[in-house]
Amino acid sequence: MAIILDARSLCKAFGAVVAASEVSAAIEKDSIVGLIGTNGAGKTTFINIVTGYLKPDRGSIAYEGRDITRLPPRDITRLGICRSFQIPQLYGSLSVFENMMIGIGIVLRNAGLAGYFSRGAALVPGYGEPADAVAERILGRFGLLEYRDRNAQVLPGGARKLLDIALAMVARPRILLLDEPTSGVSAQEKFGIMQMVLEAVRAEGATVLFVEHDMEVVSRFAQRVLAFYDGRIIADAPPHAALAHPEVKRYVVGTRA
């Protein structure tokens, strides 16, 4: 399998706090990888480094062979790597529909189809429809149409999460990093949401990495698990093996069944 994302020996420290220590992972194309670990273990830091929000002190990241270590988030997004956030990052004072339109507008702009004076009525690349139709479609797929005209900041927690993920998917990324996609979502809905997200993403042929605290979700959906602790990767294996790993049991999962 081709390696689509190659992280090599990433190191990042904030003063005395070591957020990443020799973190290396070669992610295969089209795989689904789960990132587990306690709070503060370095999962979000890993995502922040990969997406360019943080620059590692040492180490490198390659995307399809190309070095992307020093690129800022917007360039990395343009290359096809998108992410969702632990705490949903939305445009609070705008409606859900407007949130989507902003995202689609940026996609149009990056594709050179919307300049300083064009209305953006062009067909969105990859969807073949005008922007508002694409927005409706994505919102429908995520079950957010009922909130269409509500301001983002008044949405209930689960809807905010969904919108956050929906926004990350607008640009049809090749790699999607999801930071705790089911946190804040009720227990019954967790599986449903993961199913929906993965179906939508996989239909486009994307590689997915997701951070998750619910081990059942991890077992069910991940093909491979990276376990983090104290800034290091302590296990890198398929879910069952990883969850049975002694260190993982000790630091992440807990030793009781």
Partner 1 sequence: MKIVNVTHGSFYALGAYAAASMTAVWLARGYPPMLSYAVLVIAAILVAAPFAILIERAILRPLYARDEVVILLVTYALFLILEDVVKLIWGVNPYFIAEPYALLGSFQVAGMAYPTYNLILVAAALFFGLGLAWLLHSTRAGKLLLAVIHDPEVSRAMGINVGRYYLATFALGSLLAALAGAFTAPTVSVVPGLGVEVIVLSFAVVVIGGLGSLPGAAVGAVMVGLVRSLSVHYMPQVELFVIYFVMAAVLAVRPRGLFSLAEPRKI
Partner 2 sequence: MNHAGKRRDRTVAVLLTSFSILVVTGPWLPQWAMFIMTVAVARGLVVLGLLLLLRAGLVSFGQALFYCLGAYSAGALGRFFGISDIFVEMLVGGAVAAATAFVLGFLLARYRGIFFGLLSLALSMILYGLLVKSEALGSTDGFNILPSTLFGIRPGAEWVRYAVLVSAAAVALVAALLVHRYLDTPLGRLAPAIKDNEIRVEYMGASARRAVHVKYVIAGGLAGVGGALAATAVGHIDPEMAYWTTSGEFIFIAILAGTGNVVAPFVGALIYGAIHTLAYDLSPNTWQMTLGVALLLLIVFLPNGLWSAFSRFRWR
- Bridge-partner residues for 34, per DSSP? 210, 225
Whole-angstrom Cα distance, residue 236 to residue 251?
Answer: 15
Residue 87 binds to partner 1 (criterion: CB under 8 A): yes
Total interface residues for partner 1 by CB under 8 A: 7
Site string for partner 2, 37-56 (x = CB under 8 A): --------------x-x---
Candidate residues 5, 35, 46, 48; the one interacting with partner 1 per rule CB under 8 A: 48
Q: Does 74 engage in binding with partner 2 (CB under 8 A)? A: yes
Taking 3-state DSSP, the helix, strand and coil percentages for the chain, each rounded to the nearest 5, stand at 40, 25, 35
Which listed option, partner 1, partner 2, none, makes contact with residue 87 (CB within 5 to 8 Å by class)?
partner 1
**Residue 240 binding: pick among partner 1, partner 2, none (C-beta 5-8 Å cut-off by kind):** none
Cα–Cα distance, 20 to 42 (Å, whole number): 6
Instruction: Enter the tokens of residue 124.
Output: 């969105």
Binding to partner 1 by residue 53, rule CB under 8 A? Answer: yes
Shortest distance, CB of residue 142 to partner 2, whole angstroms? Answer: 16
Residue 186 dihedral angles phi and psi, to the nearest 5°: -65, 155
Q: Does 157 bind partner 2 (CB under 8 A)?
A: no
Helices (H), 111-148: 131-141
Helices 131-141 and 96-110: crossing angle, nearest 10°?
130
221: contact with partner 1 by CB under 8 A: no
The answer to whether 27 and 209 have CB atoms below 8 angstroms apart is yes
CB-based contact 144:130 (threshold 8 Å): no
Nearer to partner 1, 38 or 86 (CB): 86
Q: Is residue 90 involved in binding partner 2 (CB under 8 A)?
A: yes
Q: Which residues bind partner 2 (CB under 8 A)?
A: 51, 53, 72-74, 77-78, 82-83, 89-94, 101-110, 114-120, 132, 167-168, 170-171
